[in-house]
Chains A and B, each alone.
Chain A
């Protein structure tokens, strides 16, 4: 008669608990990965609403803070930038020149959002390039997280009068005419 060891397994309740824990953990990791990789905004989607507190000295219609949804009916150009970003330096003057073209009519609003920048450096950058359109810090990186901006700076979002995203520009603008072409198309809609 041969003899072999009998393996006394882990109790059923412990097995269930272990599997539930592993499954729960995998679900959490999976959800996190899906969330991290899914683009939260795309062309055609409604631009997520946010509030922006402007840097000292900047106002929009006399207010030092604004809400994106209050700008419905206007074309909005949202530019994410940082003082440490060299391509942002390249396009700073171009954006300012474009803003000066559209500012008098009041149909287009430019918004600059400083991303993961320090306040003194942001202010120095704005002063250096003579930026006059409303600018503010992305406090708590809340705005950039809404727009799933993890690719870098600069990035610019063009929002139509209906509040939907019409164009996303990754990287700097080459010329004022490039910006003009995009805005004029949106104004004509």
Chain B
């Protein structure tokens, strides 16, 4: 019996917690955080390179007000962003839409990074395992792992060992 009371109590607590928020979602004024959640993904053409959520101009303040108005009307984030794209163009989006020429913005950086990594790996590999050349003559040298070279290295190692 006690357990039932506990369950009912818990249910009432859950309803009490969520009910006011659900009831006021339609009518209440959206908070600054709600507005900024969308605003930070938009840029006003008046002040390029400044996200809408931190832009101090009057134009941007009016845009944020428009977002607040649309949130209060029950519009979703996607609907609001689409409104801004329709009204001001795709240039207002922080993340350009993945279509046409915009694909370059998504493809070029990873390709360049991959290319750079490839070159770096190659350069490091060559650096770690260098070949040997004879200075001055320009002629090709015997490879580093040749008998002569090995003998020389072995003698050098032995000499060093003796000196320790």
- A residues near B (Cβ < 8 Å) are 1-8, 10, 14, 17-18, 21, 25, 28, 82-84, 116-121, 137, 139-142, 145
Contacts and interface: CB of A to CB of B under 8 A. Distances in A.
25 contacts: A1-B134, A2-B134, A3-B134, A4-B135, A5-B132, A6-B133, A7-B126, A7-B130, A8-B126, A10-B119, A14-B115, A14-B118, A14-B122, A84-B59, A84-B61, A84-B62, A116-B44, A116-B59, A118-B62, A118-B66, A121-B62, A137-B87, A140-B85, A141-B88, A142-B89
A3 B126 contact: no
B40 interface: no
Given A5-B131, A83-B62, A84-B57, 18 more contacts: A2-B134, A3-B132, A3-B133, A3-B135, A6-B133, A7-B126, A10-B123, A18-B119, A28-B104, A82-B59, A84-B59, A116-B46, A116-B59, A119-B87, A140-B86, A140-B87, A141-B45, A141-B91
B89 A2 contact: no
A1 B139 CA distance: 13
Nearest to A145: B89
A128 B153 CA distance: 92
Interface of B: 44-46, 57-59, 61-63, 65-66, 69, 85-89, 91, 104, 108, 111-112, 115, 118-119, 122-123, 126, 130-136, 141
Nearest to B133: A6
B78 to A, nearest CB: 18
B65 to A, nearest CB: 7
B163 to A, nearest CB: 22
A102 to B, nearest CB: 31
Contacts of A82: 59
B87 A14 contact: no
B122 A2 contact: no
Contacts of B89: 140-142, 145
B62 A14 contact: no
B86 A2 contact: no
A2 B61 CA distance: 72
B131 A8 contact: yes
Contacts of B134: 1-3
A124 B10 CA distance: 51
A122 to B, nearest CB: 10
A20 B44 CA distance: 35
Contact of A139 (B59, B61, B87, B115): B87
B115 A17 contact: yes
A117 B111 CA distance: 39
Contacts of B133: 3-6
A2 B104 contact: no
Nearest to A122: B62
Contacts of A5: 130-133
Contacts of A142: 89
Contacts of A2: 134-136
Contacts of B87: 119, 137, 139-140
Contact of A21 (B57, B111, B135): B111
A25 B108 contact: yes
B120 to A, nearest CB: 10
Q: List 5 tightest A-B contacts by C-beta distance, closest first.
A: A6-B131, A5-B130, A84-B58, A140-B89, A6-B133
A117 B57 CA distance: 12
